[in-house]
Amino acid sequence: MSRSKTATAWAVVDHDGINIRSISVTRRAAIINWLVTDARQFISSSHDDDHINALWDAEKGEATVSPVCISYAQRA
């Protein structure tokens, strides 16, 4: 038996909809996830917010980062 649950998170949204690989608890983490998985950028702990935002602005194209509500089924 499974129950449907919801959670709120941040995600990159592009022409295909919510980018599953980008979902995270924070906006910054969603951007970093997308930069690493989709834009193939190397991000390290030495990257500050300004550098991450500059990479995002350069790579995002038409993508946006938004709060989203995710529905999922949890098995009992």
pLDDT, tens digit, for every residue of 20-46?
999 999 999 999 999 999 999 999 999
Domain limits for position 7? 2-75
Percent pLDDT > 70 in the chain is 97
Are 30 and 65 within 8 A, CB to CB? yes
The domain total for the chain is 1
- The three-point CA angle 8-19-66 to 5° equals 45
- Check residue 3 and give its pLDDT: 84
> Tokens 């906006």 — which residue?
27
Measured between alpha carbons, how far is 72 from 76 in angstroms, rounded to an integer?
13
The 8-class DSSP code of residue 17 comes to E
